Amino acid sequence: MSRLKKIAVIAIAVMVAFALISSVSFVAAESDHECTGENCEICCSITACINNIRTLTAAFTATVTVAVLLSGICSSVTICTVFSGIKSPVLLKVRLLN
């Protein structure tokens, strides 16, 4: 991976973390506001932040799940290739007559 791609990935990760932290802090700060009625702007903002939190946590969960599955598949393939190279007397059909 080139240096520019690494910087871009880190920048995106920082932005996602900032969006998640700011959404959580806004919901926590405004959870007990005085609602003005049906068209309350703060309630609309809280709903948007909650949707943002749900989306980001779902994406994070999916990413972690895929990473765990891929690492499990890679490790099982590695174990199979390591053990397939082992030669035993039974596989070599050697008679052990003493």
Determine the Cα–Cα distance for residues 3 and 6; give it in Å rounded to an integer: 5
Domain boundaries, the chain: 3-84
Q: Tell me: the pLDDT tens digits for 9-36?
A: 899 889 988 988 999 999 999 888 888 8
Q: What is the Cα 60 distance to its own chain's centre?
A: 4
Q: Tell me: the pLDDT tens digits for 49-95?
A: 999 999 988 888 898 899 999 998 888 887 777 777 777 777 778 88
